A and B are shown apart, each in its own frame.
Chain A
Amino acid sequence: MAYSEKVIDHYQNPRNIGTLDKEAKTVGTGLVGAPECGDVMRLQIDVDEATGIIKDAKFKTFGCGSAIASSSLATEWLKGKSVDAAMEIDNMDIVEELALPPVKIHCSVLAEDAIKMAINDYRLKQGLEPITDDKKHY
């Protein structure tokens, strides 16, 4: 399978690999996927409580090159965004940016799910209601 240059770049030079303290009140963690599917992504955000801006994001992924690139790209996009703006990140944005083929679209969906889960985890810690997402994934 031919990977796009961007996917290869994210794989060779992944951005923001690492772990944040999941117990911290400012950290939201999203863990999505399952080993039996061959894809597990863990995405974490560290939010500035005062401004609601994501000041740091880290990821670790068990999955193919496209899964790694999708989650790496997600952390790049999250840094500096407000939590509300981050909620708007759509998987098709990731597909376009990385030129993912149809068979790899599910990797971008997983990344979007991870972002939303991390945000909701943060919201719960802050005593807020989680945001449910009725969007259909094609």
Chain B
Amino acid sequence: MEFPIYLDNNSTTPMDPRVLEAMLPYFNEKFGNAASRNHSFGWTAEEAVDYAREQVARLVGSTSKEIIFTSGATEANNLAIKGAYEMYGSRGNHIITVSTEHKAVLDACKNIEKKGGSVTYLTPNEDGLINLSDLEAAITDKTILITVMYGNNEIGVVQDIKGISAIAKKNGILFHSDATQAAGKIPVDVMADGIDLMSFTAHKMYGPKGVGALYVRRKNPRVKVTSQMDGGGHERGMRSGTLNVPGIVGFGKACELCQNEMADEAARLSVLRDKLEKELLTIEEAYVNGNVAHRLPHVANISFKFVEGEGLMMGTKDIAVSSGSACTSASLEPSYVLKSLGLDDELAHSSLRFGLGRFTTDEEVDFAINHVKEAVHKLREMSPLWEMFKEGIDLKTIEWAEH
């Protein structure tokens, strides 16, 4: 085993060696610009992009004409939200989203509000799922877009996408989904799921960083987004800029591998994840965050009450995970996702997120289980809150001398 053991695949994934192999020729051998129409360097690059576009489209059930390449999911989210807002401005200026979305969606929505648009941020239930009735109630005659992520990056919760898209369709509203964590991990099909715009990226599925895609529906209805990056009209006028050919080739290969291996991988990883979770839940006052039934197969977000997340990560330095603790975020605020679920402070500051992946082994999970158990135990010995809990004191009754 190599240390630290990487269990943070929600943050990024190691590139699959087969992806790297596919990309290499496009750096200094077949290095042409895919938009160079007049010579074989360009044609070779264009061909590689076309092929990759097919591979990407196939993974999500779309056609190649509907895939717009971007620099990643953040850009795709921005393009979807700002692009739809600008394109459909005559129809309305209201967007509905959820408070647990990724910052790329939330900050793009804030930008819309600055421009004079209005945004409704739905609050999910305690388990992270939104109420479809809340969604319906939020719709107005000015609503032009609903954006709800497919799988949550912190807690792994998978929303009722079909239910949401049915409501969107019924009301003639476009539905965008940030599928960054879900694509390549679980079956995502824009046709079956009724999605009009969808963001996803290569580096979450064992591909390179710096390349992603926005799926833009062409039929029933035909959707367009106003470009946010101008200069040459690439990608059907929706995203200008020389294509990242090696990145795109890698993205395509990564999608193909996921398509072939996804089902087996999900089955294997959910067994490992369930084992990890079951063992860690034997620790007293340990809680899973998010709905356990509707969840990505490789994610576990667990809070260890009365122990602080960053301190816990320091004690588990042989594994690489992430925490919803304030100390680990630049702003000293605890995870807004966990707070949206209504988590108490002792739990919001105390979480660890485990993201298993293609290269995670049984041995590594066994090691992680023991490693975390030891660290939690050690930190509890050091925790005044744990001591008070054990004495039967209700922490909510204490008046804290904050500063």
Interface residues, chain A, CB within 8 Å of chain B?
3, 8, 11, 14, 17, 19, 31-42, 60-65, 67-68, 103, 106, 109-110, 113, 117
Contact = CB atoms under 8 A, between A and B. Distances in A.
A129 to B, nearest CB: 18
Contacts of A17: 381-382
B387 A32 contact: no
Contacts of A61: 382-384
Given A17-B382, A34-B400, A38-B334, A67 B349 contact: no
Q: Is the interface of A mostly helix, strand, loop or mixed?
A: mixed
A134 B346 CA distance: 31
Interface string B320-354: 00000111001010100000000011100100000
30 contacts: A3-B314, A17-B382, A31-B384, A32-B401, A32-B403, A33-B402, A35-B346, A35-B385, A35-B400, A38-B310, A38-B326, A40-B384, A60-B383, A62-B311, A62-B385, A63-B310, A63-B311, A63-B327, A64-B308, A64-B310, A64-B314, A65-B310, A65-B311, A65-B314, A67-B308, A67-B311, A68-B311, A103-B330, A103-B332, A106-B332
A46 to B, nearest CB: 17
Interface residues of B, number: 31
A19 B388 CA distance: 11
Contacts of B332: 37-38, 103, 106
A41 B402 CA distance: 11
Given A11-B314, A35-B345, A65-B314, A109 B387 contact: no
A37 B325 CA distance: 10
B314 A33 contact: no
Contacts of B349: 35, 38
Interface centre among A19, A63, A117 (most CB of B within 10 A): A63
A67 B346 CA distance: 16
Given A60-B383, A62-B383, A64-B325, A38 B402 contact: no
Interface centre among A19, A32, A38, A109 (most CB of B within 10 A): A38
A62 B314 contact: no
Nearest to A107: B327
Nearest to B383: A62
A34 B382 CA distance: 16
Interface of B: 306-311, 314-315, 325-327, 330, 332, 334, 344-346, 349, 381-387, 395, 398, 400-403
B218 to A, nearest CB: 46
A62 B403 contact: no
A34 B402 contact: yes
Contacts of B382: 14, 17, 60-61, 68
A62 B310 contact: no
Closest 6 CB pairs of A and B: A34-B400, A64-B310, A42-B384, A60-B384, A36-B345, A64-B327
Contacts of A39: 308
Given A35-B385, A38-B327, A38-B349, A63 B308 contact: yes
Contacts of B385: 35, 40, 62
A121 to B, nearest CB: 11
Nearest to B331: A103
Contact of A37 (B326, B381, B383): B326
B308 A38 contact: yes
Contacts of B386: 62
Given A38-B334, A67-B311, A109 B403 contact: yes
Contacts of B402: 32-34, 37
Nearest to A43: B384
B401 A31 contact: yes
Contacts of B398: 31
A44 B403 CA distance: 19
B97 to A, nearest CB: 26
A110 B327 contact: no
A32 B310 CA distance: 19
Nearest to A19: B387
Nearest to A68: B311
Contacts of B334: 36, 38
B309 to A, nearest CB: 8
B208 to A, nearest CB: 26
Contacts of A32: 400-403
A72 B317 CA distance: 20
A37 B327 CA distance: 9
Nearest to B325: A38
Contact of A62 (B307, B330, B344): B307
Contacts of B309: 38
